[in-house]
Amino acid sequence: MVAGGRRSLSRRALLVGAGAAALVAAGTVPWPAGATGAPDPAALRARIRASAAQPYTGFAEASGRLGLPDLPQLGQAIALFTGTTRIRVFHAGPQRWRVDELTAAGERDIYHLDGVESSWDFGSQRLTRIVGTTSVRLPRAADLLPPDLARRILAAAPDDPVEALPDRRVAGRAAAGIRVTPADPDTTVAHVDVWADATSGLPLRVEITGRADPGRPVLTSELTSVDLTAPADDVLVPTVPPGATAAEVPAADLAGALRVLGPSAPPGELAGRGRLPRFPDLPGIGVYGTGLGGFVLVPVTGRIAAQAVDGAAAAGGVPVTVPTGRAVAVSTPLLSVVIRAGGRRGALLVGTVSPAVLARAVTELAGAAR
Amino acid sequence: MITTELVLMLRRRRVWLCWALLCLLPTVVAVLLATTRLAPPPGRGGAFLSAVLSDGQLFPAAALALVLPVFLPITVAIVSGDAIAGEASAGTLRYLLVRPVGRLRLLLAKLVSVAAFTLLAVVLVTVTSYVVGVLAFGFGPDAELGGSGITSLSGATLTPLQLAGRTAGTVGYLALCMLTLGAVGIFFSTLTDSPLAAALGVLAVVVTSAALQPLDAAEAVRTFLPTQHWLAWIDLFRDPPLLDAVRTGVEVQLGWILVAFGAAWANFTTKDVTS
């Protein structure tokens, strides 16, 4: 009787164990991708770059592990690259969209309607209409959406070699993949993988892998559900709920703030990379290098630079020897940063190039300032 | 048998004590908030807590978020851990099984009883916190303007009907999440004669799951953790409501219930009962 009982227990336990294993397998084993009918990689890249007009509604999750240090005033922007961000998007076209950054305590939404941007923050119960535009702003959740991220990367690296990746299933759709491998030997980016809906070219998943750890992406963004139809008009129009505040603020006047600094004109070349004709309205700002290996020079006040150098050094930054002043380099799996302080003005160099390139650039910069 | 178990549950003093304590915590928080008018800053504290000062109708959501991480699991652990082990420790289990009732049927009756407890717990917290919230904070600015809606997380105003529907969805979802713990508790309850050990086992599952959740190294198993989807109901208060996370949460919870109840069945139906 006892032996029979044990046999039955064993059979039933096995049955339950097999059921549990089947449930786990159903949740983890990827579905076959199915046929995508994708064009060749170069044609798919062109199709992806031309997909901005494709309307869609969906939900995305972006996950980053860039290991950036916490910086005052930049907490929200840095969190986008160091944690998981839940994003909902309603995209009717390049001039009509809404992107919600979803948090456990509320949400922060951006509405873009025919050139006018408004933001809704549930926490502060405030709808803010942003008047005017600025050529540079801090990163926001909308920048991490696979379509925006993929198009921005492919636009920055139009000539880098591209190869096909195996198709995979993303958001319930068969997606065709391409891998862009930067030709620049000094970039921190090993490769960028993009999977897109083959017919519309809408990117559904993006993986950015750094050279420091080629086995695991440092930034992954995926639409986990998507509907390729235009959203209803009413979800694209912000409303001011009772009790909430409505405000208008001018777009950040970065040019004015920079003019106060009185920065010198950025050199035409740094670390062997020519300056691109970007942001001519922003004095002192210089963008150097092409493709996925570039960096930007940002002038800062001497006081802020000194604080940043001290903070970076305390956080494990590597000192860089410069002709005048002092400088510290910080490297993360994807971004390298060098800060130089000394005198009334300092400089911040940040980009997707190796710290050695930025160290060379800051040395040239300090030599020129002497 | 199901009716008998339900009646027995409703007659237990500890069950009513659990429900009373669950309703007491949000009430204390409401009184403190109403007297001090000091809500957590936006984006901090429990979900919805920063917004309840301006609209008491949001307090049920804030109250559910308050009791969800610790108090609700503790009460479910106590009640479910007692399901079989309580009978065994009281020496009534063998007499219960003498009756011409199958062990599977007894387990099912216990599961239904625990499900009724969790559903009533969530409903009672929702109803009392709505009453307390409206008494302490009023109906919100929309009422002053002649309306009766509340502001969704996305800024759009929800009508009373929409609010009722979404609150009902939240109640059902959280009851299901807690039933997962209930099923695990019943399984542990078949393994031991000690209700306390079974309840502690449930809490160990909760703590382990919550500890694994933020770990990058646990990424592969994260979606299967029972606590991972507990806050998905917040998406029901967005506009339009977002169902992706809730759907995944329901699938995972149903999977846990199936496996835990199956394990309880596999163990209990072949067990030599001597207590």
Distance CA A305, CA A274 (A): 25
A221 and A285 part of one domain: no
Query: Domain of A316: which CATH number?
Result: 3.40.1000
| Interfacial A residues in 82-101 facing B (CB < 8 Å) | 88, 100
Write the CB contacts of B88 (distance below 8 Å, at least 6 apart in sequence). Answer: B193, B273, B275
Which amino acid does the sequence have at A86?
A: R
Give B162-218 pLDDT, tens digit per residue: 988 999 999 999 999 999 999 999 999 999 989 999 999 999 999 999 999 988 888
B132, B29 contact by CB (below 8 A): no
Among the partner residues A59, A102, A120, nearest to B155 by beta-carbon distance: A120
Asked if residue A144 and residue A212 are part of one domain, the reply reads yes
- Read off the tokens for B64: 């559910």
List the single best residue of A107, A229, A240 to mutate versus B (max B Cβ within 10 A): A107
CATH number at residue A211: 2.50.20.10
Q: Both A176 and A265 in a single domain?
A: no
Q: What confidence score (pLDDT) does residue A1 get?
A: 37
Q: Does B107 touch chain A (CB under 8 A)?
A: no
Tell me: do A55 and A89 sit in the same domain: yes
Query: Would you state the pLDDT for residue A3?
Result: 44
pLDDT of residue B186: 95
Q: Does residue A34 form part of some domain?
A: no
Is B53 near chain A, with CB under 8 Å? Answer: no
Alpha carbons within 13 angstroms on the beta-carbon side of residue B63 total 32
Instruction: Please choose, from the candidates B179, B1, B167, the residue with its C-alpha nearest in 3D space to the C-alpha of residue B75.
Output: B179
Q: What is the predicted pLDDT for the residue at B145?
A: 59
Same domain, A246 and A266: no
| A235 contact residues in B (CB cutoff 8 A) | 239-240
Residue A189 lies in a domain: yes
The domain total for chain A is 2
Give the Cα separation of B260 and B237 in Å (integer): 31
Contacts of A3 (CB under 8 A, 6+ apart): none
Report d(CA A359, CA A363) in Å as an integer.
6
Query: Is B85:B193 a contact under the CB 8 Å cutoff?
Result: yes
Contacts B216 to A, Cβ<8 Å = 65
Say whether both A268 and A237 belong to one domain: no
**Judgement on whether residues A101 and A54 belong to the same structural domain of the protein:** yes
Residue carrying structure tokens 């494709």: A54
Looking at A199, A231, A250, the residue that finishes a domain is A250
pLDDT value of residue A303: 83
Q: Which domain holds residue A214?
A: 41-250
Which of these three, A201, A228, A250, is where a domain ends?
A250
CA B86 to chain centre: 21
Tell whether the model's pLDDT for residue B134 goes beyond 60. yes
B162 interface with A at CB cutoff 8 Å = no
The pLDDT of residue A70 = 63
Tell me whether residue B126 is exposed, middle or buried, using C-beta atoms within 10 angstroms of its C-beta: 0 to 12, 13 to 18, 19 or more: buried
pLDDT tens, residue order, chain A (370 aa): 344 445 555 788 889 999 999 998 888 887 777 767 778 999 999 999 999 999 999 999 999 988 776 665 667 788 888 889 999 999 999 999 999 999 888 899 999 998 899 999 988 889 999 887 777 788 899 999 999 999 999 999 988 999 999 999 999 899 999 999 998 899 999 999 999 998 899 999 999 999 988 888 999 999 999 999 999 999 999 988 887 888 888 877 667 776 777 777 888 889 889 998 888 778 888 899 888 989 999 888 888 888 888 888 887 888 888 888 889 998 888 889 899 988 778 888 999 999 999 999 999 887 765 5
The reply to whether A10 falls in a domain is no
A234 and A358 fall within a common domain: no
Same domain? For A176 and A287 the reply is no
Residues in chain A: 370
Cβ of residue B214 closer than 8 Å to a chain A Cβ: no
**In-domain check, residue A28:** no
Question: Does residue B274 belong to the interface with chain A, where contact is any CB pair within 8 Å?
Answer: no
Considering the domain architecture, whether residues A309 and A221 belong to the same structural domain is answered as no
Tokens of A135: 């050529």
Tell whether A261 is covered by a domain. Answer: yes
Distance from CA of A194 to the nearest CA of B (A): 22
A128 in contact with chain B, both atoms CB, cutoff 8 A:
no
Does one domain contain both A246 and A263?
no
CA distance to A44, A274, A289, B148, per residue, from A277 (Å): 28, 10, 11, 55
Residues 230-249 of B with CB under 8 A from A: 231, 234-235, 238-240, 242, 244
Neighboring chain A residues of B51 at a CB cutoff of 8 Å:
106, 122, 125
- Cα B14 from Cα B195, distance rounded (Å): 13
Nearest to A156 by CA among A196, A183, A175, A177: A183
Looking at A250, A279, A300, the residue that finishes a domain is: A250
Q: Is residue A172 part of a domain?
A: yes
pLDDT 10s digits, B1-26: 788 888 888 888 989 999 999 999 99
Contact criterion met (CB < 8 Å) for A27 and B156: no
Is residue A25 in some structural domain? no
Residue A223 and residue A309 in one domain: no
CB contact under 8 A, B142 and A225: no
For residue A5, tell me if it sits in a domain: no
Distance, in Å, from the CA atom of A122 to the CA atom of A118, rounded to the nearest integer, reads 13
Phi, psi at A294, each rounded to 5°: -140, 170
Stretch B69-92: mean pLDDT, rounded? 89
Check if the beta carbon of residue A96 is closer than 8 Å to that of residue A81.
no
Tokens coding B231: 């806050």
Report the alpha-carbon distance of residue A225 to residue A171 in Å, rounded.
5
Q: Is the minimum CB–CB distance between B259 and chain A shorter than 8 Å?
A: yes
Bridge partners for A203 per DSSP: A196
Nearest to B256 by CA among A271, A23, A49: A23
Cα–Cα distance for residue pair B15/B37, rounded to 1 Å: 33
How far off is chain A from B245, nearest CA to CA, in Å? 10
